[in-house]
Amino acid sequence: MVLNEELPAIRLLEPGFTIVNGLLAEHYGLGSLDPDAGPTIVMTDERGGLFEQGHFLTSGASGSDFRRVIHRGIYALNRTLCSTIPPLDPATLEEIAATAETIDPTLPLNERMQMHRESSGRCIGCHSQMDPLGLALEHFDAEGKWRDTYPDGTPIGHSFDFRGQSVRNPDELKAYIRDSDLYRLCVAEKLLGYGLHRAIRSDERCLIDEMASADNSEVSLHDLAIDAFLISLKQTEMP
């Protein structure tokens, strides 16, 4: 709908609406829809963005609470900032396993993750990037429902900044990404990669810069997609 209605790319994060059926509306707590209602547009600032979709919130939530935070954080890095976490080498995997055995599992999640991050130089490099983003989404439980505390009554929160900026909750996370130049570049890169149907070559990075030079918080996603398609046609025609 963001594409069809020619809304700016930032509305992928904050569309102001969502599309749900009756059962999903009840699950999200979006007010009264007939349980048998089919897909319906509901105007809301609480659901609808990339980080508030049930599919995303549940798909990365299987396993331990550590995994939930990490998987959601990596998704935010990869999909909205086009940043990647390097593969773990055997030595790091061994160190992670050893560290996990020394952490008290009854401590609050944010404290356990902090202890893990600070356990070695290997850990802080990656976790400083993914943990703050994943912890910012902890107000959503494993089923994607909103919550203010963990099941044991512990308040949800953390004090770990992301690249020097507070991202304590979903609103702060969306604000950081909305104002980031990396988000504009990432949108352009995703669209061009889709048009080319392959990874972007190093000599094509200038095309992404060109697409993102216009503030795509104002340019519609529809127009950006057309630009990407036309550029990809030119690139595929080159010998």
Low-confidence winner among 67-76, 96-105, 153-162 (lowest mean pLDDT): 96-105
Amino acid, res. 194: Y
Q: Is the model more confident about 237 or about 162?
A: 162
Q: Give the integer Cα–Cα distance in Å for 217 and 152.
A: 40
CB contact set of 190 (below 8 Å; sequence gap of 6+): 79, 82
Say if residue 217's pLDDT is above 80.
Answer: no
Q: What percent of the chain has pLDDT over 70?
A: 96
**pLDDT tens across 115-164, in order?**
888 887 777 888 889 999 999 999 999 999 999 999 989 899 888 899 99
Mean pLDDT over 75-85 rounds to 92
pLDDT of residue 214: 61
CA distance 217 to 206: 20
The rounded distance, in Å, linking the Cα atoms of 52 and 46 is 8
Is residue 129 within 8 A of residue 138, CB to CB? The reply is no
Q: Is residue 64 within 8 Å of residue 134, measured between CB atoms?
A: no
